[in-house]
Each structure stands twice: as structure tokens, then as C-alpha cells.
Amino acid sequence: MRFKFYVAMMAAVCAAQAWAANEPYAGAIVRKESGITPKADFRPGNMTDIMPSLQKSDEEQEIYFSADELETDEANGLIVAKGNVVVERGKMVLDADRLWYNQKRDVIVAEGNVVLTEEDGSVLYTDEIELSQKMKRAFVNKVKVILRDESRIWADTFVKKPSDNKQMRNASYTACDMCQGKSPLWQIDARKVNYDAKGQNINYNDAVVRIKNVPVFYLPFLSHPSPEVKRRSGLLMTSMGSSSYLGQYLQPTYFWNVSDQTDVILSPYFSTDRDIVLGGQYRQYFYNGHISASGTYLDDKGGDYRKMNYRQFNRPEHRGNLFLDARYELNDYWVANLDYNYVSDVFYLKDMSLAGRDDAWLTSKLSFERFEGRDYATIEGYHYQLTSYNLKARNSAEYDNRMKDLPTVAPFMEYENISTPNPYGAYFKTNVSAASVYRESDEESQRVSMIN
């Protein structure tokens, strides 16, 4: 026979009235005296869970027990539960094979396949756990914790305080997926790990970063945001490298969380041959659209130029690039889009190893699109910038001639309509388009076409 019992942590007037009326009740008559931990007297009865009728505060949240077997020692205030033990307090759930509950000390000891699911979604696995202060304090030896973002922590000792701060000794942390018998790609081992619930940080003392279980470097102190943090200003991973143009360089990255809709990423280069290269990205979301802009800037007058003549092939002193993407919904029908790409000279993307360095040209586009029912219309403009550095280096004159032949398309217009299908599924489709093309070589062309 499966027994269920219920422990209320505050006064339960309704339960007392039910007992007085000699009605079957599986639960507790709870007495609370000033400064004394509430006590419970258990009686067998109807094995139906008694659920709280009113919303309780965090301090008044009731604790529910469920088990296959139950033993009570009323004299010593001790309850022993065995077999499929489940303890619930709010969103916190404890599963175990056996449990001892000392009502006088308000201490729960559970052992055997212990699984504790926290209110924040993290799950703790161990063989034995001690809980007190209404399950707000915990002590564990040899524990594994899976956080709600699927990252993992192992520790020799684990202590949880009523403030929800957690302390771990001889702990390891990784956010990598685990494969049986294989080490994670990276992990952090530390003598001491502290989880700051209020500050939402995980802090490490005497941390060792391992790659494939090989120690890479040691840090006396390390800190990073806890998994519940979605966005926060702070330093990101720093990049290091070398190139023929920059020499040795270091690129720290700082994330600035301006607001929930806006952020800035600052990522300058500090190099041995070109001093400082400014770099960054700006992103913002509006109610009706978004904008994203990224770029770099270099004052190419200082630094060590013994390795390369920076004026060769007309490299300018002020160099940089700008990539911009924007979209805005003007109303229920019209949408404006901008894709703008600019670079100061043909060699810059290659010198800096930036995106688009292998493209023959950069394309910029401005468009206005209309969507209404089965109709679609667009007005677009295109501009091209030649970035074929191989051609420039091989034949500068030919490059200049091709620059003059690059077209500017303004405007390109298109309208398309699809009629409502008739009863047989047939419909008419009409497409009308027009374009005007201009070149620096004074060559122009226009066209209009219609397809039914």
C-alpha cells in the first residue's frame, strides 16, 4: 500500500477543523509557537493530497512528501520515508530512495539516487544530501550539477545558502556537450567556485583552463556571468594573431549593453606594425525595423613600413571600411531596405583579412518593397565598387578602365500580380519591369519589359 503524507510549514486551520470533525485526513495538524520550529502530528487516513487553497509567500510555502513506506517517531519528531521518495516545495523537487526528516531541527537527509531540481531549472545529482531551513540550505559531498543552459559542474563539496549563493570546492565547469569516455573540448578546474545569486556571477579561485584535459594556463581569479544572464556589458574573448600587414596583434573585445534593443561591440587592434586600428559594431532593433553597422578605421601614417611601401598602388593614408544593413517597415504595405558596403581602397580588406576580401566587387543596394495581397512591387538602386586586388596589383591601368565600366543601376522597378484562381485552378500572372543603367564611361542604357 502506498502512503502519502503532507507537511504544512505554517498554521493550517482548515486541516485542524477537519480532524476535529473526525473526517479522514492524510496530513498534519500543525502548531506554530513563537521562536519554535512548527511540529506535525501524523495520523493515517484518506490518502488524498491536500492542496493549499491560497497563494503562499516564499516563507510560507508548504512541503509535500510522497513515499512507498512511512515511519514516524512522534516522541523525537522524526519521520522516515522509504521507496520512491518525492519532496516538493514550490518548484523545488527532491527525489531519493530514502529520507529522514527531523522536525525539531528542521533537517532533511536524503540518500540513494538523489536528484534535486532547483527552482531555476538546474538539476543536482548525488548519493546523499542534507537540507535545512525549509530546504533553503543544502550540503552535499561529490555532486554533479547540470545548469539550465546544459552546462555542467562537478564538485567534491557543494553548499547552498538561504540567500541562494552556492559554494563549491575542487570543482570543474564546462559548457561543452559530453560524450561517454571522452574529455570535453574545454573545462575550468578550480580550488573554489562561488555562485553569486544577487550579482549573477560565477567566480573561480585558482582556476586552471584545460583543452581536451590538457592544462593550458592558470588564473588566480576568474569570473563570468551565470547562465541566467542574457546580456551584460563586459569583456569578451581576446583574439591574438599575426599577419604580414599588421605584424603581431592583439584584439580585445568589449560588449556594451546599451539597452535591451541596442548594443555596441568595440574591437580595436593593437599591432606591432600598424599601431592601433579602430573597430566596432553597432546594432539596434526598433519596433518596425533594425540597423546593424560594422567597420574599422586606420590612420596609416605611423608604424613600421620597412616591410611594405604603404603608398604602393595608391594606398591612402586614411583607410577603413563600413558595412551597414538596415530594414524599416514604413507602413502595413511598404518596407525600406538598405545594404551599404564601402572600403577605402582595393587592398584594405585583403590587408586586414576582413569579410569580402576575396570578392571581385562590393554591392550596395537601396530598395523599397510593397506587399499587398497577391501584388508585389519594388523600386531598387544598385552601386558597385571594384575590389579585385589581384587585378589592381597586376595591371593598374586595366583596373582603372574596369572601374569606369562598373554600372550604377538607378532605378530598377518591378511589379508582379497574380490573379485569383478560377474554379479550375487557372490564374494569370503579369510581370512588368524597367531599369536604367549608368557608367562613368558615359554609357547608358534603359529597358522596359512585360511578361504575361
Task: Report pLDDT digits (tens) over 404-447.
Answer: 778 889 899 999 999 988 888 898 999 999 999 988 777 788 88
Terminal CA-to-CA distance of the chain, rounded, Å? 79
pTM of the shown model: 0.66
The CATH number assigned to the domain holding 218 equals: 2.60.450.10
- Indicate whether 321 and 423 sit together in one domain: yes
Query: Is the same domain home to 216 and 350?
Result: no
Burial-class residue 372 by CB neighbours within 10 Å (0-12, 13-18, 19+). exposed
Residue 364 neighbours by CB under 8 Å, 6+ apart: 339, 340, 341, 342, 382, 383, 384, 385
pLDDT, mean of residues 98-104: 91
Same domain, 345 and 428: yes
- Report residue 187 as a C-alpha cell: 573545462
Instruction: Please indicate whether residue 229 or residue 215 has the higher confidence score (pLDDT).
Output: 215
pLDDT for res 60: 58
Name the average pLDDT for the chain. Answer: 81
The candidate with the shortest Cα–Cα distance to 49, out of 20, 103, 86, 99, is 86
Decide if pLDDT at 117 tops 80: yes
Residue from 379, 382, 378, 446 nearest 416 by CA? 378
Give bridge partners of residue 27 from the DSSP assignment. Answer: 43
Q: Tell me, what's the pLDDT at 75? A: 84
Range of the domain at 311: 234-451
C-alpha separations of 132 from 37, 98, 102, 273, 342 in Å? 12, 16, 10, 62, 63
Predicted local confidence at residue 393, as pLDDT: 56
Whether the link from the prior residue into 225 is cis, omega within 30° of 0, is: no
Residue 13: pLDDT over 70? no
Q: Are 440 and 374 contained in the same domain?
A: yes
DSSP letter at 351 equals H
Residues 328-348, mean pLDDT to the nearest whole number: 93
d(CA 153, CA 163): 20
- The domain boundary residue, chosen from 204, 228, 252: 228
Question: Do residues 137 and 152 share a domain?
Answer: no
The per-residue pLDDT for 193 is 94
User: Are 255 and 352 found together in one domain?
Assistant: yes
* Residue 141, domain CATH: 2.60.450
Asked if 177 and 103 sit in the same domain, the reply is: no
Amino acid at 112: G
Rounded average pLDDT over 151-165: 91
Residues whose CB is less than 8 angstroms from the CB of residue 71 and which lie 6 or more positions away in sequence, other chains included: 79, 80, 81, 82
What pLDDT is attached to residue 314? 61
The pLDDT tens digits for 186-222 are: 899 999 999 998 888 999 999 999 998 899 989 999 9
The candidate with the shortest Cα–Cα distance to 404, out of 368, 448, 443, 431, is 443
Residues 187, 247: one domain? no
- What pLDDT does residue 387 have? 82
Q: pLDDT band at residue 320, thresholds of 50, 70 and 90?
A: very high
CB of 430 closer than 8 Å to CB of 417: yes
Does residue 248 contact residue 272 with C-beta atoms inside 8 Å?
A: yes
Specify the pLDDT at position 15: 36
**Exposed / middle / buried, residue 62 (Cβ in 10 Å: 0-12, 13-18, 19+):** buried
133 & 7 share domain: yes
239, 214: one domain: no
Is the predicted pLDDT of residue 44 greater than 60, yes or no?
no
Residues 353 and 389 in one domain: yes
Count: domains in the chain: 3
